[in-house]
Structure 1
Amino acid sequence: MEIAVIGGGIAGLAAAWELERLSPAVRVTLIEASGRLGGWIRTERWGELLIEHGPDSWVASKPSAAELVCALGLTRELIGLRSDRAGASIVRYGQIVPLPDGLSLLVPTRLGSLLGSPLLSPWGKLRVLAEFLVPPRRDEADESLAAFVRRRFGREFYEQVAEPLLAGIYGGDAEQLSLLATYPQFRELEQRAGSLLRAIVRGATRSAVSALSEPSSAAHELEKSSSKRVTVQRPHVKDPQTVQESVSRLPRSPFLTLRGGMEQLVLATVASFRYTNLRVGVAATNIRARATSFTIEFVDGTELEVDGIVLAVPAWNAAELLQELDSESAELLRAIPYTSSGAVTLVYEREALEPIARNRGFLVPAREGRPISAVTWVTNKFEGRAPEHLAVARVFFRGNRGWSAGDAVPEALVAVALRELRALTGVRAEPLHAVVSDHERALPQYLVGHRTRVTTLRRRLANWPALALAGAAYDGVGVPDCIASGQRAARAVVAALGLCQTQCPS
């Protein structure tokens, strides 16, 4: 049996890894159109300094990434956030103000800290307290994240606190993002306790409160409730008990990364492949279905016949590949919009940033009218990012605001980043080095109704059970989400082909 994985980002790599783990009878071909593997995960070196072009870490509360890292033997490479530079700030009327303690994304878990903060006006603080009195929404209809936060905590809390935090995760417009596709636990807690603040005051279950800042998904919940698992382990992979023991000893930190950078995970995954054939640099252009197999057509005119496919490419790319196979599914995929992302990494002498870089960075609300959404002090987040005499700032641009490389040369983006950093922090020193990271159509946007659209899509594609979707467009945008997505898709295809050596997943 031969299974193709189309897409060499972390979801596709995780799918290929899982396929090798599940069945030695499977021959895997991993197809990637570009010249490199890893997708948006890319680590660059400038001398002894480490620069991330994509994500610099992952949410530790989601286990998929840490489990893969441990299974690959990289446990000792895991590091957490620096404890000596904790905290973050937010811009209010051009001034940088510390975020209050106990802020769990959309919910203030320590009211005293919030009430004593200058971040909100007296009226804004009163409106937050009034959340106790806001009746819960009992229906199951979806709503935007912005509408939910305004309904429960008021407009000022949304604009000053929630919006910039959400922009940092999804890079899009919370006015359009789906509550049920991103944070369904908020609706659940609202309905169960009547008020989010009341749930916290009454001592809501630890799992509910700890999950307040964790993006969720329907697929994640379905997977947790499934009782069927594939337990086959390949010889080169650590056994589950060893992996779980390693996970239990991980650094206690809300975010984790690798000492050698995020691309270390990509390289280790690829190095672990034994039976996976890599086909890099040639794009797939079409998928045709035969009676019991699929034919993949390539831009160079060649074809590949396979028994199953994991389609781990962006939704718009998947739409192109599936147009001939199922035009209605292709339309559903095209309906998932994407926003671009970009950042400029600036390297300074440490003494230039030391007076201002006290914590891990600051957020910039959209109401400030600036082209940037955040600044992180990279060397304050994780150890070992740069030599002791250097400090690094990473300036993030707002998505889809005309900043992309298609509209401006890198030098112009660096100039904007420097202007904004100087205006907000007062730093006057010139950077020693600058690197632009520009990703077109990088982040899928989970618009209101996203879960319903994805369910409809998967129902249509059930006509081809040996073809499964994976990636950030469906069930979560983070690195652990993508890894879990790729592994789920691999298990689904293996089960459809009857290749499981033990009980197959549902």
Structure 2
Amino acid sequence: MNDSPAPNASRPRRIAVIGGGVSGLAAAHRAQTLLPEAEVRLYERGPRVGGALDSTRHDGWLLERGADSFTTKLAGAIDLCRELGIADQIVETNSQHRRALIASGPRLLPTPAGFVLMRANKIGSVLSTRLLSWRGKLRLLAEPFIAAPPEVQQPGYDESVASFATRRLGREAFERLVQPLLAGIYVADATQLSLAGTMPEFLEAERTYGSLTRALWRGPRPAGATAERQAAENNSSGARYSVFVSLRSGVSGLVGALVDALPANCVHRGVEVARVDRDSGGWRLRLIENGQPRDEAFDAIILAAQAPLAGRLLAGVDAELAGQLAKIRYASSAVIGLVCRREDVGHDLDGFGFVVPAVENRDLVAGSFASVKYPGRLPDGLVHLRAFAGGALRPELVDRGDDELVALARRELGELIGLRGEPLWSDVARWRESMPQYDVGHVTLVDDILARVATHPGLAVAGNAYRGVGIPQCIASGRGAAEAVVGQLA
């Protein structure tokens, strides 16, 4: 066992980052930037870094196996691209077909224009949609007349998205619009999903104006470029596709740029962190590489791993903190990718993809028409389809074999978009325990976790388990963690 020397002021500071997803990479990059003389070491137990950012090439085709976009509404990813010198590689989504479709029986119907998550910007589109009955439409349009309960004014108030959406919009709108759109983002059970943790703007709208509709009427009006962007959102539906972008080389281009910007000896793949201990000079990690254990000492550590794993590592340091971290649950999902001939698809593919209401009792949660969303990544005449299965409501599907999942996707896509024939390429990516479930009370839980972390000098946590699951939020989390520990070491 080779022990590294204990931390002291006479040598460069040592910072360890545990976890090689985009949060960990962003943390390592920020720490190295702020403290160039420091020895920053990132440990990833798997063979690759980047987490759910996993672009691949096959026969010259550019294909995404995990996340495929990041939003420009939050600065984290865009600012990092500029800092890394890759802002010129940013590509926008296709300006056509910026809408989500929703499964209704054997058909895919468009989300009402201007309907974004729980906000209906256009009454006419609600009245004309075939997704809701007249009873459901009238109940949704009655939203401004539904009184807000007094408890929403209480500090720290939270409730489930299902409860809130049903109360404000009606059960039918929740089941046919809100639930599938949110499942496509969080693969969560909406009856447990925290409103305050995922969409606090809707909670604040009710708290301030008493109604989502009245907030739209009376709230502040955007100006300039923001107004133009808002207009684009109002004309799209489902998700705010006008604000999503990728990179020419796929989202893994961001991962590659981060790795290239770090010193050659910073990123260590295939290294498991088995134990974290406090010692008199800082922190000591038990590392296992190629089956061989060793201990190394650090002045600070950033835990950018899944929250329960972070908790297990900290169990000997702070049992209370470990217990808090263990409360954050995760869901798994599978992404089934297919490349098919366009002539083998009987649908117009006039959207970026579709979501499936749980009440439809299908095996898929959602589907993406990836080659429509980002054209030019495949030759003409081919389409890249992605099907999503599993999540909190159907976790057992992730454990099915590759052939079974491909057959499942082909069957459901056959029913929904008329897919026939053999795919030219297929792939199954399983993202196990990758999506944290922001249960009711999540905001308070995270506040408690971060307050407890702050009692340990040289310790920070980062990742999608705390303040948002998107790429920009993960980057902001990693960078914030780095700034916290560097500030303590300076």
TM over 0.5: yes
Q: Which of residues 58, 71, 74 in structure 2 aligns to 1:62?
A: 74
**Does structure 1 residue 149 correspond to structure 2 residue 165?**
yes
Q: Aligned-pair distance for 1:162?
A: 0.4
Partner of 2:464: 472
Aligned mates of 1:151, 1:292 — CA distance in 2? 54
The CA distance in 1 between the partners of 2:75 and 2:452, in whole Å, is 30
Structure 1, unaligned stretches of length 5 or more? 215-251, 500-506
Quick one: distance in 1 between partners of 2:449 and 2:219? 39
Number of residue equivalences: 460
User: CA 1:126–1:333 in 2, change beyond 3 Å: closer, same or farther?
Assistant: same
Match 1:185 to one of 180, 201, 208: 201
Question: Bigger shift: 478-487 or 196-205?
Answer: 196-205
Alignment partner, residue 265 of structure 1: 254
Letter in 2 for 1:443: M
CA contact (8 A) 1:259 1:384 kept: no
Q: Structure 1 residue 284: deviation in Å?
A: 0.4
Aligned counterparts, 1:395-414, within 5 A? 395-400=387-392, 401-404=394-397, 407-414=399-406
Partners in 2 of 1:276 and 1:133 — Cα distance?
A: 61
Matched to 2:209, the amino acid is: A
CA distance in 1, matches of 2:351, 2:375: 14
Q: Does 2:136 match 1:124?
A: yes
Runs of 4+ with >6 A deviation: 207-211
Q: Distance in 1 between matches of 2:279 and 2:321?
A: 18
The two structures, once aligned, show a CA RMSD in angstroms of: 2.1
**Offset of residue 14 of structure 1:** 0.2
Query: Does the Cα contact within 8 Å between 1:403 and 1:413 map onto a contact in 2?
Result: no
2:192 maps to: 176
| CA–CA separation in structure 2 for the residues paired with 1:338 and 1:260 | 29
Aligned ranges 1:411-430 → 2 under 5 Å? 411-430=403-422
Once the two structures are TM-superposed, the CA of residue 453 in structure 1 deviates from its matched residue by 1.0
Give the drift of 1:146.
Answer: 0.9
Secondary structure in structure 1 of the residue aligned to 2:277: strand
Q: 1:303-352, CA deviations, whole angstroms, 9 ceiling, x for partnerless residues?
A: 11000011100012101210111111111111100000111111111222
Q: Measure the CA separation in 1 of the matches of 2:142 and 2:453.
A: 46
Aligned to 2:328: 336
Paired-residue identity, %: 40
1:200 aligns with 2:254: no
Check the 8 A contact 1:18/1:491 in 2, yes or no.
yes
Tell me how far 1:398 sits from its aligned partner: 3.1
In terms of mean alpha carbon deviation, does 271-280 or 467-476 score higher? 271-280
User: What is the distance in 2 between the residues matched to 1:351 and 1:479?
Assistant: 34
Q: CA deviation at 1:408?
A: 1.8
State the distance in 1 between where 2:299 and 2:410 align: 52
Secondary structure of the structure 1 residue equivalent to 2:103: strand
Deviations 1:401-459 (A, max 9, x none): 24455x32100100000111111222222211111111111100010011111111122
CA distance in 2 between partners of 1:81 and 1:354 (Å): 23
- Determine which of 95, 99, 115 is the counterpart of 1:87: 99
Match of 1:160 among 176, 181, 184: 176
Report if aligned partners of 1:96, 1:424 keep a CA contact under 8 Å in 2.
Answer: yes
Which SS does the other structure have where 1:436 is aligned? strand
The correspondence for 2:380, drawn from 379, 388, 396, is: 388
Letter in 2 for 1:17: H
1:145–1:175 contact (8 Å) kept in structure 2: yes
| Matching residue of 1:227 | none
Offset at residue 200 of structure 1 (A): 1.4
In structure 1, C-alpha distance between the alignment counterparts of 2:189 and 2:478, rounded to whole Å: 27
Cα deviation for residue 78 of structure 1 reads: 0.6
CA offset digits 1:251-290 (Å, max 9, x no partner)? x931010111111110111001137522221100111111
Cα distance change, pair 275–196 in 1 and its aligned pair in 2 (3 A): same
- Partners of 1:440 and 1:193 lie apart in 2 by 40
* Corresponding position of 1:138: 153
**CA–CA separation in structure 1 for the residues paired with 2:170 and 2:381:** 44
Distance 1:438 1:99 in 2: 28
Which whole-Å CA distance do the structure 1 matches of 2:354 and 2:445 have between them?
35
Counterpart for residue 349 of structure 1: 341
Does the 8 A contact of 1:397 with 1:403 survive in 2? no
In 1: Cα distance, 2:154 partner to 2:173 partner: 24
What SS does the corresponding residue of 1:489 show, helix, strand or coil? helix
The answer on whether the counterparts of 1:404 and 1:438 sit within 8 Å (CA) in structure 2 is no
Cα distance in 2 for residues equivalent to 1:294 and 1:199: 49
Q: Does the residue aligned with 2:132 lie in a helix, a strand or coil?
A: coil
- The whole-number CA distance in structure 2 between the counterparts of 1:418 and 1:158 is 28
Partner of 1:298: 287
**Are the aligned partners of 2:332 and 2:395 in contact in 1 as well (CA < 8 Å)?**
no
| Distance in 2 separating the partners of 1:53 and 1:452 | 33
1:133 and 1:259 map into 2 onto residues whose CA distance is 47
Contact 1:285 1:320 (C-alpha < 8 Å) held by counterparts? no
Matched, 1:358 2:373: no
CA positional deviation for 1:69: 1.1
Other structure's SS at 2:483 match: helix
2:473 is the alignment partner of 1:461: no
Q: Is the 8 A contact 2:347 2:417 kept in 1?
A: no
Q: Tell me how far apart the structure 2 counterparts of residues 293 and 83 of structure 1 sit (CA, whole Å).
A: 52
Within the candidate set 312, 326, 332, 2:304 is matched to 312
1:27 aligns with 2:16: no
Structure 2, unmatched stretches of 5+, are 1-12, 234-240
Q: 1:337 to 1:329 in 2, by over 3 A?
A: same
Relative to structure 1, the CA distance from residue 409 to residue 453 in structure 2 (aligned partners, 3 Å threshold; closer, same or farther) is same
Partner of 2:444: 452
- Quick check: 1:4–1:308 contact (8 Å CA) kept in 2? yes
CA distance in 1: counterparts of 2:454 and 2:370, whole angstroms? 44
